[in-house]
Amino acid sequence: MEFRTAGVIGAGAWGTALAQVTGWAGLDTLLHAREAEVVDSIRDHRVNEAFLPGVTLDDHVKVTGDLADLAGCDVILAVPPAQYMRATLEALAPLHRTGVPVVLCAKGIERGSLKLMTEVLAETLPGAPAAVLSGPSFAGEVARGLPSAVTLACADEILGQALMVALSAPTFRPYLATDLIGAEVGGAIKNVLAIACGISEGRGLGRSAHAALITRGFAEMTRLGVAMGGRPETVAGLCGLGDLVLTCSSPQSRNMSLGLALGQGQTVDEALAGKRSVAEGYESAPAVRQLAAKLGVEMPISEAVASLLNGETTVDAMIGNLLSRPLKVERH
């Protein structure tokens, strides 16, 4: 199994960074952008000034505004925001060739349906070979060639091995897993938890509180992953714990920066104003809360974030409620 061409759908920061990676990997890469200004910027200057300024793209990377141009690609990387994944895959459906794998690179849970991205793929492109790429990776660092490692989850181990090799680059290391559910849950929940860590940072609660939030948040992530059929060892890998640590530890994270603004006293509307890039945790938090309730999984930190974002509580009340919960035995 050999891949020579890659189509990347979604020319935000992460999609552009992944196009850079596939270019470095030697794949002729076609990046699809909805915005005419992005197409023009990359064609004219080899730079996505809107979403990834200062990074010159590899010569293997070309750009298009027409999704139909990706019809001949050997592998598709789907990188829209999670809440737009269904519409993106529906648009791809009439162009998709049987057997062409779709690598899902968005992190989130679909609002309303409470479905993971693999479930959305199964409904929109039945039978399409699926993989999930997720892990601790800031787009700017990846695109500049700084070292990073991610999880590549694929139920078909032979296909997974081929994708792992095809998508690896000198400074970008995919590690293979077969548990797609665990990989997806980790990526979705960590964004919500990063908002909580940002709030703690913005309120000046200290490093001890920060560490406690990451650790107890990881327990929530593991509980939900297992309840959905994932494996705890997957969630403990790059796609879960690894991504959680990164996203909760730097204001480069859109989700942590949102929480930081909330912790410093901004309203949700003020914190979101003027942002071109999506904070996936804001979009996924209501779905995470609903899913936890549906499955009977205790997720107090994630639920508190969802309540705050929905205007049901304040930052101080949220902190007070979490600190006043009944004491309990530590377990995941």
- The residues carrying an active-site annotation are 190
Compute the average pLDDT of residues 30-54: 97
Residue 241 in this model has a pLDDT that exceeds 70? yes
Compute the average pLDDT of residues 294-303: 98
Tens-place pLDDT, residues 92-146? 999 999 999 999 999 999 999 999 999 999 999 998 999 999 999 999 999 999 9
pLDDT of residue 1: 79
Residue 332 in this model has a pLDDT that exceeds 70? no
Contact 194, 282 (CB under 8 A): no
- CATH tag for 183-323 (out of 1.10.260.40, 1.10.1040.10, 1.10.4080.10, 2.40.10.10): 1.10.1040.10
Structure tokens at 64: 């298009």
Compute the average pLDDT of residues 19-48: 98
Fold of 5-178: Rossmann fold (3.40.50)
Tens-place pLDDT, residues 87-101? 999 999 999 999 999
Residue 257 in this model has a pLDDT that exceeds 70? yes
Structure tokens at 81: 């925001």
Domain ranges of the chain: 5-178, 183-323
pLDDT of residue 274: 77
Residue 275 in this model has a pLDDT that exceeds 80? no
CA dihedral 48, 185, 305, 328 (to 10 degrees): -150
Nearest to 103 by CA among 66, 152, 165: 152
**Which neighbouring-strand residues pair with 30?**
7, 62
